[in-house]
Amino acid sequence: MFGRRMDLLFEDRFKRKLIIELEAGPIKDEHIGQIISYQEMLLSADDPTIRIMLVGTRVPPTIKRSLDHYGIAWREISHSGLKSFLMEKKDDELLLLFEEEFVISRKQEDMRPVTISKSVISSNSISTEFNTDELIALLKSSELYINFHVIINRKKKNEDEALNILVENSGFLTRQHLGKVFKLIDEAYPYIHNGKPVKGPWFGRLIKLNAPYILKENEEDINKWFQILTDSKISVDSKINILKKPPFKLNKVDTGFITLMLYLFNRPDYLIWFGAQHKGLGRLFPELGNYSGNGAQYLIFNDLAIKFMKQYGFEPEEMDWIFSTGLAEKNTKNYVR
């Protein structure tokens, strides 16, 4: 296009173009300058519908801020995500080639794998070089996981009932409806911990920090909020970003609560995401980086989390526990002891 060769060119049904520049590694400062020069060149071609995106295997926080500042779209597709995709597609030939490139890339980025044995965990991060299969097998046979499963059917039933309330009253939700939903999903489930019966609200702070403020909101605003949340024409990352800002933001509502509601409406496809969830999955995939709470990072988290869930035979209703508790550092130390 315009005398330049682009990496990828997409065109939607309205003939709008999206040009993607791919980087076989992390996005760097010089790539921003390159993409801005492309943008200036393309805009001067008198086509204001053209969009540009940078894609790399990692987008450092400082680079993300710069790209957001200039209004340049970006996506982070990790090595582990690429490997999972090839494994899912059973593309063994390409996977072999990819493995060679993966080793070279890790050396170039000076990413030294962390090895975990049954005797010790040597780092807060669990590298994908570690035998993850062994860790998950140990987790599934642990007392902690077995005791958690005592409440899983009740948890599913409550989430089904909560979804029914939201769907049956769509467009006409009241504070009373939401109060019932919060009570159902945050039930104080009884289960055994360290040989003793314990009982506590399931989501705790996630509900406690959001529900009181939501229940004071105007019901018209609440229904507009849920209308955006369930609008299939809006991408998930855009929904998160829209619902976190005026004029649709509900007081104190954060990303964790938004993804909790997304999860209720579509449990197989959208998992709950907050700091502890991110940290748990990040121990297996350090490329996730630090939790940001923005919509683009949720797409990356959710994609990896869904693949992980399917690969190891977990159910969506388990994943908030798996990431925040099952893969917590203090617990994985016990599994591999």
Kindly state whether residues 95 and 146 are assigned to the same domain: no
Q: Are 240 and 258 in contact (CB under 8 A)?
A: yes
Strand ranges across the sheet with 8-11: 8-11, 17-26, 51-58, 73-76
Kindly state whether residues 102 and 162 are assigned to the same domain: no
Ramachandran angles phi, psi of 296, nearest 5° = -65, -40
Selection from 297, 293, 282, 298 nearest residue 332 by Cα: 282
Question: CA of 57: how far to CAs of 35, 77, 79, in Å?
Answer: 17, 5, 6
pLDDT score of 119 more than 60:
no
pLDDT on residue 191: 64
Kindly state whether residues 153 and 290 are assigned to the same domain: yes
**pLDDT digit string, tens, across residues 241-259:** 999 988 999 988 999 999 9
pLDDT score of 197 more than 70:
no
Count of C-beta atoms within a 10 Å radius of residue 1: 14
Selection from 213, 209, 190 nearest residue 201 by Cα: 190
Kindly state whether residues 179 and 228 are assigned to the same domain: yes
- The residue out of 76, 100, 128 marking a domain boundary is 76
Q: Are 312 and 139 in contact (CB under 8 A)?
A: no
CA quadruple 29, 33, 38, 43: dihedral, nearest 10: 120
How many angstroms separate the CA atoms of 289 and 279, rounded? 9
**Lowest mean pLDDT across 10-24, 190-204, 229-243:** 190-204
Q: Give the best-scoring range by mean pLDDT among 92-96, 205-209, 308-312.
A: 308-312
Kindly state whether residues 72 and 98 are assigned to the same domain: no
Count of C-beta atoms within a 10 Å radius of residue 220: 8
The structure tokens listed for 133 are 């299969």
Counting Cβ atoms within 10 Å, is residue 84 exposed (0-12), middle (13-18) or buried (19+)?
Answer: buried
Count the alpha carbons within 13 Å of 277 in the hemisphere toward its beta carbon.
25
**pLDDT digit string, tens, across residues 141-175:** 888 888 888 889 899 999 999 999 999 999 999 99
In a domain, 134, yes or no: no
In a domain, 120, yes or no: no
- The residue out of 30, 57, 76 marking a domain boundary is 76
Count the alpha carbons within 13 Å of 229 in the hemisphere toward its beta carbon.
27
| 25 three-state secondary structure | strand
Query: What percentage of residues in the chain have a pLDDT greater than 70?
Result: 82
How many angstroms separate the CA atoms of 43 and 20, rounded? 15
Question: CA of 297: how far to CAs of 21, 274, 282, in Å?
Answer: 19, 11, 12
* Residue, of 96 and 235, whose pLDDT is higher: 235
pLDDT on residue 28: 86
pLDDT score of 40 more than 90:
no
In a domain, 36, yes or no: yes
Q: Are 238 and 269 in contact (CB under 8 A)?
A: no
The two beta strands, 51-58 and 73-76, are parallel
pLDDT on residue 337: 55
Mean pLDDT of the chain: 81
**pLDDT digit string, tens, across residues 166-193:** 999 999 999 999 999 999 999 887 766 5
pLDDT score of 294 more than 70:
yes
In a domain, 116, yes or no: no
* Residue, of 323 and 95, whose pLDDT is higher: 323
Query: Is residue 297 very low, low, confident or very high in pLDDT (cuts 50, 70, 90)?
Result: very high
In a domain, 89, yes or no: yes
Kindly state whether residues 12 and 88 are assigned to the same domain: no
Residues constituting the chain: 337
**pLDDT digit string, tens, across residues 56-113:** 888 887 788 888 887 788 898 877 677 777 777 877 777 666 554 443 343 344 333 3
Kindly state whether residues 208 and 66 are assigned to the same domain: no
Entry pTM:
0.62
pLDDT score of 9 more than 60:
yes
Kindly state whether residues 148 and 246 are assigned to the same domain: yes
pLDDT on residue 226: 96
Kindly state whether residues 59 and 179 are assigned to the same domain: no
Q: How many domains does the chain have?
A: 3
Mean pLDDT in residue range 38-49 = 67
Domain assignment of residue 96, given as a range: 84-111
In a domain, 260, yes or no: yes
Question: CA of 258: how far to CAs of 211, 227, 254, 285, in Å?
Answer: 12, 13, 6, 23
Torsion region of 110: left, alpha or beta (phi above 0 gives left; psi -120 to 50 gives alpha): left
pLDDT on residue 105: 42
Q: Which residue has the tokens 């002891």?
A: 337
